[in-house]
Copies of this chain bind each other. A is one copy, B any other.
Amino acid sequence: MTQELRRFKAEIFHALAHPTRIAIVELLRNGEMSAGKLIERLELEQANASQHFAVLRAKQVIVNRKEGNQVFYSLRDPVLIEVLDVLKRYFYSQLSQTMSMLKEMRMEKGSGKKLS
């Protein structure tokens, strides 16, 4: 059982292991939003966004509701927000190390990016 539960946890983490998918979850924090709106807010390619939705759906992180032409997404369980919140504390509890890590990350991949 423990084995399987760990695999389950790993799958949830994996679902969240992409900046775009984190952004989606964060946008859904305060309630549902249509796919179109999410795409607009995050400035994503439609296909790419849809693929990320699919990953989150597959892991049951988000659920969808169809209304006419549109699809509304929402978090299946707001407990996940707590996970993100705890992680936020994690940053601040060691901000300096976080910052130098961010700096490193910025150096590695595509430097000169603006901090939006």
Contact = CB atoms under 8 A, between A and B. Distances in A.
A28 interface: no
Q: Which label, helix, strand, loop or mixed, suits the secondary structure of the A interface? A: helix
Interface residues of A, number: 46
Contacts of A35: none
A10 interface: yes
Interface in A47-99: 60, 76-77, 79-80, 82-84, 86-87, 89-91, 93-94, 97-98
A90 B22 contact: no
Given A1-B116, A9-B16, A10-B16, 15 more contacts: A2-B116, A3-B115, A3-B116, A4-B115, A6-B23, A8-B102, A9-B19, A10-B17, A12-B90, A13-B13, A13-B17, A76-B94, A77-B93, A79-B86, A80-B90
A18 B10 contact: yes
